[in-house]
Each structure stands twice: as structure tokens, then as C-alpha cells.
A = this chain, B = another copy of it.
């Protein structure tokens, strides 16, 4: 028996070939009764669309991948939502791979994708080595978002992390704090190195000596790690009067540990976070934080992939390696300057 064609389906359904094609290709605006007729005819004829051939004609798979540590981390949940929205504008669906930031799973994410499955990928890696990138590159345009400890020749979108950290710590010095701690030091994270560099630069600018024991490392950047690190700082004979946390979750954990010890924020301890997750605007006290322009990061990353995949399709000269800095702001809230509204 020969395979059923679109025309066979159209004849059986009593509609045009164009209508069958619209149903098969997933276009939204088909009359419900026509859709039902076509679907019945598709089943009756055993017609199966050939996605491989269709994508080959289009030169696209219709998918991009987003590889990130965990969706339950609010920064990544918010970023993923923005990437999906930006991708839809280019007709792409988004596949999300969660790696938990481990090298094994980041490697698996790279190797399990390829031009047969995706048109490009946005990566937020934590553990991949430069060799991994060279060995495992999936043969599609890649964009890295955020900072990574190793230098690899792929497009990159991020904020100026050193300047952002300097701005945050400069603010703590400007409100008169003199014993400023940091939470988040971690030799394996690219952002950590840059934020530590900015922290140190701001201390130097304010004429403050660096005290090694005030920079507490964090293996992970979850709330519990922030609470543990803050506890360590509050156990010191001479407590800090401010702390710069390398992300909002660490800061939320630090706030919680301070409350558990009866330490008042910001009177006894000012706290600054990083990421401007929505949670930070509602915490009590609300959190002063660095606000990266996440929408700009998502849109820039998607349009870089779009530009490169168009290049590839048209065989044009590819544009040069891109390293794009997106804007950020320092949102100043209660955790550094106290309540601005009077109680009723």
C-alpha cells in the first residue's frame, strides 16, 4: 500500500489541501469543524507528516534549547519565561534542560542536542571546561548568558558584573558602613570571581582594609547557603555591619539568619543582594539589590541565535564573535536604608 498523501487526506475530509496542510503544520486558525474532519481523515488514511523533510525545506527544526541549572531558582525561572517569550517572536519553541550545574549533566545536555533537533542553544553553564566546549559543540549557534569561569569562543551576553558589585558595595560604604562582608566566594563560578573583584575594588575605593574572614564562601547559591554563611559571620567576635550577597537567594537566607539571631536589618546589619528577583521587592525588609535587565538578556541571546541561524541558512559571511553587555540598576530598598513608609 502506498503512503497516504496530503491530497488523499483532503479528498476524504472534503476540504482543500491547504486546510490539511494548515492542520498538519499546527497553524492556530482553522475552523474547529474543519480541524475535526481533517483529524479524522488523518487517522483514517494513516497519514504521518514527515517532520524531517519539512524542517529540511524550512532549514530549521523550530526549536532552540535553554540549558540552565534549575528552574526552581527564581532568577532562572524568570529568565526562562522571558526566553520563551522572545523565542516565540521568532517562531521557536524552547526545550529546557536542567543540569543542576554539574559537569556531567552539562556535557550530556551539549551532546544530546544537534542540528537534527535544535537551531541553537542558550547556555548558562557552571562546570563545563573549555575542552568540553571544543569536544562537544553541537554544531548549532550557541550563546552563553551570564559569566563562566572559562573563556570560550562563543557569543556572550551578560551585565558588567565587576561594576555591578562595585556599585553595590560602594552604596554600603556611602551609607557609612565600615565592616562590609561578602557571601558567595566560589572558585568554580565565573560570576563569583567577578563579583569578588568588584567587592574588593569598592573596599579599596572607600579606603577600607579587606579582612579575609569577612568573605564567606558558598558552594551553592540557595537560601540555606546564605543562612549558613550569615550564621558564620554573626559568630565572629567582631560582627560585620553590612554584607554583600552574590545573589538574592543568599541574601534572603542572610536576612532570615539575622532575624533568627535578633539582629536588626538595616540598623545593625545592611544587606545587598543581586538579581532583583520579584521576591526581593516583597521580603521584610525589602532587599536592596542589583537589577540586571533580564528582558534585554533574553531578547539579545535569542536574536543572536536568530542572526547566526539566518547566516547559516543563507551562507552569508558570519558576523564576528559578540560579547554584549546589557544594562543593570541598583534598586535601593529597606535592607540598606530602612523603612521609607510610616506605619498606619
Contacts and interface: CB of A to CB of B under 8 A. Distances in A.
Interface of A, helix, strand, loop or mixed by DSSP: helix
Contact of A80 (B71, B74, B93, B135): B71
A76 B52 CA distance: 32
A343 B261 contact: yes
Given A81-B98, A278-B223, A116 B26 contact: yes
Contacts of A50: 50, 52-53
A279 B255 CA distance: 12
How many copies of this protein are present in the complex? 2
A23 B135 CA distance: 13
Contacts of A331: none
Contacts of A72: 74, 77-78, 81, 278
Contacts of A341: 260
Interface in A58-110: 61, 63, 70-72, 74, 76-78, 80-81, 84-85, 93-98, 107-108
Contacts of A80: 71, 77, 96
Contacts of A30: 111
B26 A111 contact: yes
Interface residues of A, number: 71
6 contacts: A24-B114, A24-B116, A48-B52, A227-B282, A234-B344, A256-B286
Interface string A268-288: 000000000011011110100
A139 interface: yes
A84 B113 CA distance: 16
Contacts of A71: 71, 77-78, 80-81, 84
Interface string A125-162: 00000000001100100000000000000000000000
A53 B49 CA distance: 9
